Amino acid sequence: MGLEIRKLTTEDGRDVYEMLQEMPADENGFLNSANGKTFGEYREWLKGAAESAEQVGVKDGWMVPQTTFWLYEDGRPMGFGKVRHFLTDALREDGGNVGYAIRPDARGRGLGTRFLSLLIDAARGIGIGRILLTVQNHNTPSIRAALANGGKIEKITGDKHYIWIEPPKP
């Protein structure tokens, strides 16, 4: 099985658009703000997401730079992930550095665990030394994926697991 991640570009096409329409706008705390957009609106959304990866510092008091990635399996987009370049106090409580989702018809095959591994590598490439995932308690597949990728649970609250991953040095 050929898995790869690709960084979002403003030229991403209909295959990615269709995947984003299949994925909920908010699922387990992962936001897909492209859901429900027309194809033209999606093209504008791509521009904003690409600009976010190049952003410096905090914008509008809360938005940090983030890079968006697609997971492809044998040429078909299967997942959507985001890597935040650094954390604010608010993101340490709700959000973390990495978030991802797998398209509904591809779940239950271990793609999330492998996608997270690739996102960890991408985060290391951005210069992130320690990665936080905040995972809702009921999202056991993502908790298992984080632990399988070397995650250590720092704390569990009434609604979230706080899991830190220290990427291995190259």
What are the pLDDT digits (tens) for 96-140?
Answer: 999 999 999 999 999 999 999 999 999 999 999 999 999 999 999
For residue 151, tell me if it sits in a domain: yes
Q: Please determine, for residue 60, whether its predicted confidence score (pLDDT) is greater than 90.
A: no
Neighbours of 89 (CB within 10 A): 6
Does residue 37 belong to any structural domain of this protein? yes
Number of domains the chain is built from: 1
Is 80 exceeded by the pLDDT of residue 61?
no
Residue 130 lies in a domain: yes
> Is 83 within a domain?
yes
Q: Tell me what pLDDT residue 30 has.
A: 86
Whether 170 is in a domain gets the answer no
pLDDT digits (tens, 9 = 90+) for 142-169: 999 999 999 999 999 999 999 999 977 6
What band does 29 get if pLDDT is binned at 50, 70 and 90? confident
Domain limits for position 15: 3-165
Give the model's pLDDT for residue 141: 95
